Amino acid sequence: MHKWPLEDKPLLVFYETTKACPLACRHCRANALLKPLPTDLGTREVMKFIEDLTGFGRPYPVLILTGGDPLMRNDIFEIMDHAKSLGIPIALSPAVSTKLLNEDLLRELRNRVNSVSISLDGARPETHNYIRRTALEQIDVFKTTLEAFEMLRKLGVEFQINTTVMKLNVHEIPHIFKIVRESGANAWEVFFLIRVGRGMELEPLDPWETEDVVQFLYDASLYGLPIRTVEAPFFRRVIMQRSASVKYEGGRLYQELTGQLRELMGESSSNAKPPSFTPTRDGYGIIFVASDGSIYPSGFLPLTLGNVRRDNIVKVYREHPVLRTIREARFNGKCGVCEYRNICGGSRARAYTEVGDHLASDPACVYEPTAK
């Protein structure tokens, strides 16, 4: 387990550079638009916010430039260069568009970013293209995405692949894993749908399907590819249980997914090591800055903590009472008494979205704590 001082500084700072994006994804948290909003932080304001990040001390958190599509900002290289000059590591999360994400641009990025993340939400063009609709151009987003993987690998740019799992694509997850593993990606980050933004249109997995999928992800991780989850921190509880030889019989979905996995990949190595993890959660090791400067615990938990235009992000992260309560794992219901609350803590975003209380138990978790 990583010994990052999560009490004092986040591991990851997400900055939603703009809501402008050439895609109109059906699960978009940001409700992305075609054009930037006048409320977006100006260049000078972004520079000041980035300078404030140095107040966390070295090693600095990773600054993840997300959106919308960060490439829609005409000052994005200037922003990256400023962060790099201060020694702040940068990760970029662009949308896949033939107009913006091409080999010439990736060459420009190569010496500016530590890594890039690209989304793949289906193993078939029909699924991926349906989920990740284009707004500006009629392109085969699936084909362009696979080409982006190839370009990144050829240029030697480290990249991870992000997948949002929901009822619509869950049966394709083993095939997506195969594509990810063969792509040369350094990691697979699996997001569990939170019904915010355009995601309100889509159907998330039910709790037992969610458990089946995180158990499947443990099996997939034994094939040597690092796997992380977003808004499913109970994956860490599964890692602890399975590493201690707690067997999971699973439901019909688990049997289907693991059967497909073995069919596609063969048997995993008998001496494969279980995945490692850092026990982050919304507001603990993670902080999010929206395009207008608003500070949130995460992009999926819209509780306003301040604004970088007037508030110092270091002070907000360390002192805000909402974040202190989350860090201290002072949750309600079974999450509050669970023996895994410090490494898991449930999705605060899902609790807030589904129950209206960011400290409530995560409604997607089926685990019953031993202590009541």
Question: What is the per-residue pLDDT across 75-104, written as a single tens digit (0 to 9) for each?
Answer: 999 999 999 999 999 999 998 875 668 888
**Lowest mean per-residue pLDDT among 82-86, 104-108, 172-176, 271-275:** 271-275
User: pLDDT-based confidence at 269, cuts 50/70/90?
Assistant: confident
Superfamily of domain 12-265: Aldolase class I (3.20.20.70)
User: pLDDT-based confidence at 1, cuts 50/70/90?
Assistant: very low
pLDDT beyond 70 at 275: yes
The edge-to-edge listing of strands for the beta sheet with 306-307 is 227-230, 187-192, 159-165, 115-119, 90-92, 62-66, 12-16, 286-289, 294-296, 306-307
**For the chain, which residues make up each domain, given as ranges?**
12-265
pLDDT beyond 60 at 136: no
pLDDT beyond 50 at 216: yes
289 versus 370: the higher-pLDDT residue is 289
pLDDT beyond 80 at 260: yes
User: What are the CB-based long-range contacts (under 8 Å, 24+) for 146-155?
Assistant: 146/179, 146/183, 148/96, 148/101, 148/118, 149/118, 149/183, 149/184, 149/185, 151/102, 151/103, 151/106, 152/106, 152/116, 152/118, 152/184, 153/183, 153/184, 155/103, 155/106, 155/107, 155/110
226 versus 31: the higher-pLDDT residue is 226
Please name the residues in contact with 356: beta carbons below 8 A apart, sequence gap of 6 or more.
Answer: none
Query: In the chain, what percentage of residues exceed pLDDT 90?
Result: 81
| Closest C-alpha among 237, 149, 147 to residue 185 | 149
Question: What is the per-residue pLDDT across 328-371, written as a single tens digit (0 to 9) for each?
Answer: 999 999 999 999 999 999 999 999 999 999 999 999 999 999 86
